[in-house]
Amino acid sequence: MRRTPLYEAYRDSPGVRMTEFGGWQMPLCFESGIIAEHLAVREGAGLFDVSHMGELWFEGAGSLELLDWLVTNDVRGMEVCQALYSPMCAEDGGTIDDLVVYRLDREKFLVVVNAARTAIDFAWMSRENPWIGSSGSPPRVSDRSEAIALLALQGPSAAGLLQPLVDVNLAALGRFRFAAGATVVGKRALVSRTGYTGEDGFELFVDRADARAVWEGLLRSEAGATPCGLGARDTLRIEARLPLYGQELSEEISPLEAGLKAFVKLDKPDFCGKQALARERERGSRRALRGFQMVDRGVARHGHRVSRAGRVIGEVTSGTKSPSLGAFIGLALLEAGSAGIGDEVTVSTAPEKRARIVPTPFYRRIGGER
């Protein structure tokens, strides 16, 4: 299994539990445990090692045009120092990955992709897509994942904790904006404000060699962040109804089925998968992602069948016990129109248990989005 640059920093931490994730050896949780880490992000600040994510760079003439064709969202409308979330689809409308685009300059972009999809995305984006074949002089696309470490500081106290350690006015850094050429704990960094937890938060891109100094500097700061693992990252994102590739999204699940139509700009002149997604939107998606809360106690797991009135109507994509709500919750991909808010369904746990379709997100930060 692969290891991030921070593996040496936490492998001997008291109580740390490691797990395999997408071919990487990562912390599932630290000594305080998943629930405490989850609540630290909801009430204070939690620090995550997300250096397993992939970083692809687009440089040179044609970068804007290529990226705008590859993803479903509107890259052409981006400003410099703006970040943009988007699905990336195949020609049949299935999702190759979901990613974040950072516009560094007019023809220079950083694209952050999911860890398990990095090699697949790089091959598709750099040489295997039809746009490259039709371009006389395609842009340079490079994979710099090995050189970059990525830390995520999340929670309502994140800005206050980070500000004394960074030379950027965080109050002036809006949601999905970033500052390049900053320093954190004296180390050069790109500081962004996106997040994957439903809370305010910052991402720190640093050189691999500087990762440990930044990690330890944030943990030892006066306010002190709580180190968090993949367990809390999952419970936090489920509460916020944020998708995980391989569960809510895949090559067999379109972004429209996953409820991401706001990020599919069918008014763009063209992008990969546009025709298939336009047909899907016109006729209606076959499936829809829905939230549910268990009536009977128990955790629903990925792949559990969901039934209504004795008929299977879909399956669970993610499930957990919500530390914020104290309830068992989950997401399921169901036949369109098969169940609405308030309807009771059953989940094929052992034994089968009842659940109820509920609105999502399950948790919304007080004060809403920045």
Q: pLDDT tens digits, residue range 314-327? A: 999 999 999 999 99
Residue with tokens 């968090």: 228
Q: Which residue has the higher pLDDT, 137 or 14?
A: 14
pLDDT tens readout for residues 298-309: 999 999 999 999
Q: What is the pLDDT of residue 222?
A: 73
pLDDT bracket for residue 136 (50, 70, 90) = low
Beta bridge partners of 113: 54
Residue 260 sits in the same domain as residue 293:
no
Q: What is the pLDDT of residue 321?
A: 98
CB 184 within 8 A of CB 206: yes
**Among 284, 307, 339, which residue terminates a domain?**
284
CATH number at residue 313: 2.40.30.110
Structural domain includes residue 363: no
**Among 284, 318, 350, which residue terminates a domain?**
284
Question: Domain range spanning residue 77?
Answer: 1-284
pLDDT surpassing 60 at residue 370: no
Q: What is the pLDDT of residue 216?
A: 94
pLDDT surpassing 50 at residue 112: yes
| Predicted TM-score (pTM) above 0.85 | yes
pLDDT bracket for residue 368 (50, 70, 90) = very low
Residue 265 sits in the same domain as residue 296:
no
Secondary structure of the chain in HEC code, one letter for each residue: CEECCCHHHHCCCCCCEEEEECCEEEEEECCCCHHHHHHHHHHCCEEEECCCCEEEEEECCCHHHHHHHHECCCCCCCCCCEEEEEEEECCCCCEEEEEEEEEEECCEEEEEECHHHHHHHHHHHHHHCHHHHHCCCCCEEEECHHHEEEEEEECCCHHHHHHHHECCCHHHCCCCEEEEEEEECCEEEEEECCCCCCCCEEEEEEEHHHHHHHHHHHHCCCCCCEEECHHHHHHHHHHCCCCCECCCEECCECCCCCCCHHHCCCCCCCCCCHHHHHHHHHHCCCEEEEEEEECCCCCCCCCCEEEECCEEEEEEEEEEEECCCCEEEEEEEEECCCCCCCCEEEECCCCCEEEEEECCCCCCCCCCCC
Q: CA 308 → CA 247, 291, 338, 351, 352, distances in Å? A: 21, 15, 8, 16, 12
pLDDT surpassing 90 at residue 22: no
CATH number at residue 126: 3.30.1360.120
Structural domain includes residue 128: yes
Structural domain includes residue 370: no
Residue 41 sits in the same domain as residue 183:
yes
**Among 230, 259, 284, which residue terminates a domain?**
284
Residue 224 sits in the same domain as residue 308:
no
Structural domain includes residue 366: no
Residue 245 sits in the same domain as residue 292:
no
pLDDT surpassing 80 at residue 137: no
pLDDT tens readout for residues 211-232: 999 999 999 887 789 999 999 9
pLDDT bracket for residue 369 (50, 70, 90) = very low
Q: What is the pLDDT of residue 261?
A: 97
Residue 49 sits in the same domain as residue 76:
yes
Q: What is the pLDDT of residue 366?
A: 58
Structural domain total, the chain? 2
Residue 318 sits in the same domain as residue 270:
no
pLDDT tens readout for residues 28-65: 999 999 999 999 999 999 999 999 999 999 999 999 99
pLDDT tens readout for residues 172-212: 999 999 999 999 999 999 999 998 999 999 999 999 999 99
Residue 109 sits in the same domain as residue 152:
yes
Residue 353 sits in the same domain as residue 212:
no
Least confident of 5-9, 12-16, 75-79, 265-269: 12-16
Residue 32 sits in the same domain as residue 126:
yes
Structural domain includes residue 364: no
